[in-house]
């Protein structure tokens, strides 16, 4: 089994996804869209006079609203970046009553709403929000398909991680030992 880019971050994604009850597939989808799993990614956001950092492209202003003492340098650290982003995703899921697409739109554009045609917009009239939503949602469905529907229970995720790190034979051995209790 080939080691994919997202698998190196699965332990952190799983930990924070489970801790905050955020779908692991959704976290991976955002990470894929935002940085393509590049923890050093950054982007200037001149429209809002801010900059986004790291795996999840967290805005410094957003990060400080969640963890006031965070610095830009800390946002390049995968654990800090993922933890803050997952907290932000959770707040969006709560705000929009667990509507996945609406929370995706909010991650990209802040407070958003749908017009009569079902298109997402924000107070600045951003037009690319819908493309972002469609792309992240497609990745979300891809990760559910790739890892299985119980990805968020952590069962398959542990086997994926072990398989990637140790190989199929070691995972079979580990699974049998765990099953038989020795």
> SS3 letters for 18-53?
HHHCCCHHHHHHHHHHHHCCCCCCEEEEHHHCEEEE
Q: Where in the sequence is the domain holding 82, given as residue range(s)?
A: 7-150
- With beta carbons less than 8 A apart as the criterion, state whether 102 and 112 touch: yes
Whether 58 is in a domain gets the answer: yes
Percent of the chain with pLDDT over 70: 74
Task: Give every residue of the chain whose pLDDT is below 70, as ranges.
Answer: 1-4, 46-48, 123, 125-127, 148-182
pLDDT tens track for 86-106: 999 999 999 999 999 999 999
pLDDT tens track for 146-175: 876 555 555 445 545 555 555 555 544 444
Whether 158 is in a domain gets the answer: no
Whether 35 is in a domain gets the answer: yes
Whether 1 is in a domain gets the answer: no
- The domain tally of the chain equals 1
Res 172: pLDDT: 47
Range 124-131, long-range pairs (CB < 8 A, 24+ positions): 124/47, 129/105, 130/105
Whether 135 is in a domain gets the answer: yes
Q: What CATH number has the domain bearing residue 106?
A: 1.10.530.10
| Ramachandran quadrant class, 37 (left: phi over 0; alpha: psi -120 to 50; beta: rest) | left
| pTM of the full structure | 0.78
Across the chain, what does the average pLDDT equal?
81
Q: Is 81 in a helix, a strand, or coil?
A: helix
């Amino acid at each position: 089994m080939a080691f994919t880019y997202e698998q190196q971050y699965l332990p952190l994604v799983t930990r924070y996804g489970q801790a905050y009850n955020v779908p692991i597939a959704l976290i991976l989808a955002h990470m894929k869209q935002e940085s393509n799993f590049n923890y050093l990614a950054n982007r200037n956001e001149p429209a809002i006079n801010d900059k986004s950092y790291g795996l999840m492209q967290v805005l410094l202003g957003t990060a400080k609203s969640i963890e006031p003492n965070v610095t830009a340098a800390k946002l390049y650290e995968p654990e800090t970046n993922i933890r803050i982003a997952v907290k932000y995703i959770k707040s969006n899921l709560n705000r929009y009553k667990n509507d996945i697409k609406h929370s995706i739109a909010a991650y990209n554009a802040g407070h958003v709403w749908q017009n009569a045609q079902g298109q997402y917009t924000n107070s600045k009239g951003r037009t690319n929000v819908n493309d972002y939503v469609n792309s992240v949602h497609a990745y979300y469905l891809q990760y559910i398909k790739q890892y299985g529907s119980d990805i968020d229970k952590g069962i398959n995720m542990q086997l994926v991680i072990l398989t990637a790190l140790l190989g199929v034979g070691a995972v079979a051995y580990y699974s049998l030992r765990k099953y038989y209790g020795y």
